[in-house]
């Protein structure tokens, strides 16, 4: 996926001053991967016998999935770039990923899907923070 994300960013007809395309591509990829993983984890939680014990995990997964997908979409749009919006959504995405990872880690010893989801969330959180740092 990174190849296509980066290729599309490189085709942008105007210069994007102050934006590290490598970090941007990595963040977009991490956001979409995390959105898919969180959606799948929520669905897997719904299939567990003790689904009532996973209510918070499901909710956190779905919130994180929506925020990550939205962040990936916003980061993919470069025309009319507004740095303050980009920074704000990256902060929100990092916070959602941190919360989701923490919740999933509580269930990781019993549910492999939660362990995998926590890893994807930590990767996305780090990618958002890396891009934020690069934006200054």
Strand extents, DSSP E, the chain: none
Q: What is the pTM of this model?
A: 0.93
Q: What is the mean pLDDT of residues 112-136?
A: 96
Domain ranges of the chain: 22-135
Which of the two residues, 21 and 44, has the higher pLDDT score?
44
The confidence score (pLDDT) of residue 49 equals 94
User: What does CATH list as the number for 22-135?
Assistant: 1.20.1270.360
d(CA 53, CA 58): 10
In this structure, what token pair is assigned to residue 84?
């303050």
d(CA 79, CA 62): 29
Q: What is the mean pLDDT of residues 92-105?
A: 98
């Amino acid at each position: 996926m990174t190849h296509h994300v980066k290729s599309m960013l490189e085709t942008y007809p105007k210069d994007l001053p102050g934006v590290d395309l490598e970090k941007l591509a990595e963040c977009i990829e991490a956001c979409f991967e995390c959105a898919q993983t969180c959606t799948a984890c929520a669905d897997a939680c719904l299939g567990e016998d003790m689904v009532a014990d996973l209510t918070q995990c499901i909710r956190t997964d779905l919130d994180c999935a929506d925020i990550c997908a939205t962040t990936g979409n916003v980061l993919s749009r470069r025309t009319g770039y507004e740095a303050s919006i980009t920074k704000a959504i990256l902060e929100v995405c990092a916070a959602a990923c941190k919360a989701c990872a923490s919740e999933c880690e509580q269930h990781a010893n019993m549910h492999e899907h939660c362990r995998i989801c926590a890893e994807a969330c930590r990767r996305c959180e780090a990618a958002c923070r890396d891009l934020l740092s690069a934006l200054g």
